[in-house]
Structure 1
């Protein structure tokens, strides 16, 4: 792995740690302010998020996706979908790439409810995919 990829993996690890600590210290409502505005899934801003995205932005989104996916299993804590989406969102935001963070819920196996977060950017499925067909999308941050 070259130095550029190593730095990207280190950034992903730090971003997931920051997400984990933020969620442990602050209420979700406060943390969510950095995600943008919560809108319903059928909001026009959600449907048009990838409009105008360049191939370079899509390539960067794929690299961020890779770094988060590779790093998550090796964190000293369980890095769940929300922390991964938050980390990728922060990494893309630093690169001025617009992303959409989706939230959904549904009936879980062995538990009353299953919640999930996933992230899209520049037409790329960044984190949290595949999304289970039993989940209903509740809202998005744009």
Structure 2
């Protein structure tokens, strides 16, 4: 086997060794995040988005979402869980064999937090793109914890939320 052919396997071995350094809870979170990303990606590709939005909680204006988030601020333990979920989704998204962009990441983290009784908000924004198109982005927060999709570029204008 040539050195070039061995290089990808070195990366895989390195990643497995790093995962081996994490605890059982982190492993479980990573597996849950990877499965959630696969389900979210499949849903985005095959289910009409309004139906996905209803399943996640329903659309609302950014103002209403901010009021709801203020009423459901997480405590210290919930903030730590939100940070861990964000870490797991981000790490899993970098390592799954498909493209897990901002929307599946936000959907997955939202579901994981919802399962743990932590209120979170998915934010949707648009920005002018090249050739008269629009760029879109989704990001998730739980109170003041930035879970996925951060930092948000300043050119994005928030247009809707799901909570």
C-alpha distance after superposition, 1:84-131 (max 9, x if no partner): 000100100110111001000011246721100000113200000010
Structure 1, unaligned runs of 5 or more: none
| Alignment check: 8 A CA contact 1:53 1:122 kept | yes
Inter-partner Cα distance in structure 1 for 2:59 and 2:52: 13
Partner residue in 1 for 2:109: 88
| Alignment check: 8 A CA contact 1:13 1:71 kept | yes
Partner residue in 2 for 1:28: 49
SS of the aligned residue for 1:101 comes to strand
Partner residue in 2 for 1:46: 66
Partner residue in 2 for 1:7: 28
Shift of 1:68: 0.7
Inter-partner Cα distance in structure 1 for 2:59 and 2:28: 31
Larger Rg: 2
Q: Which has the higher helix share?
A: 2
The answer as to 2:160 corresponding to 1:135 is: no
The answer as to 2:99 corresponding to 1:67 is: no
Q: Which has the higher contact order (CA 8 A, sep 6+)?
A: 1
Moved over 3 A (4+): none
Structure 2, unaligned runs of 5 or more: 1-21
- Please, what TM-score do these two structures have when normalized by structure 1? 0.93
C-alpha distance after superposition, 1:9-40 (max 9, x if no partner): 00000000010111122111111112213111
How large is the Cα RMSD of the aligned pairs?
1.5
| Alignment check: 8 A CA contact 1:88 1:126 kept | yes
